Amino acid sequence: MWEIDNLSQLLAFLYSAALGGIYCIIYDFLRALRKEIKFGTAAVFVSDILYSLICAVTCFCFLLAVTGGQPRGYVFAGAAVGFLVARLTASPIAVLVFCKALRAVCFVFKWISALLSRFFT
């Protein structure tokens, strides 16, 4: 029976905390997208399912890379801690930045479509 040393457990916990933070930032992008585009209930449901599937697959790949595919409690706890820390600290700023960026992209596309409609009509 082989043992996992404390340093590798700590590193796996910290890596999973970073992964949880990335999950939160991705979900913040979805929140900003919903704010700006006004999704219907079916679109929100589908986007949440896709988000969950993407997170599950990446978490499984992370477990394969870090722990050899063995589910460890500290990895899941680290992802939850990372998500919570990002949600409580960086989330409001990220949503604001994403909303402004989406507004800018929408403005540029409206400007380009107005220019092209004048050109082709």
Long-range CB pairs of 81-84, under 8 A, 24+ apart, other chains included: 81/17, 81/20, 82/16, 82/17, 82/18, 82/19, 82/20, 82/21, 82/22, 82/23, 82/24, 83/20, 83/21, 83/23, 83/24, 84/20
From the list 44, 38, 33, 43, the residue with the least C-alpha distance to 101 is 33
Please say if the pLDDT value at position 3 is more than 60. Answer: yes
| Intra-chain end-to-end CA distance of the chain, in Å | 75
Give residue-wise pLDDT tens across range 67-85.
Answer: 888 888 899 999 999 999 9
pLDDT at 1: 41
Is there a contact between 79 and 16 (Cβ–Cβ < 8 Å)?
yes
Average pLDDT of span 55-76: 89
Locate 46 and state its tokens.
């589908």
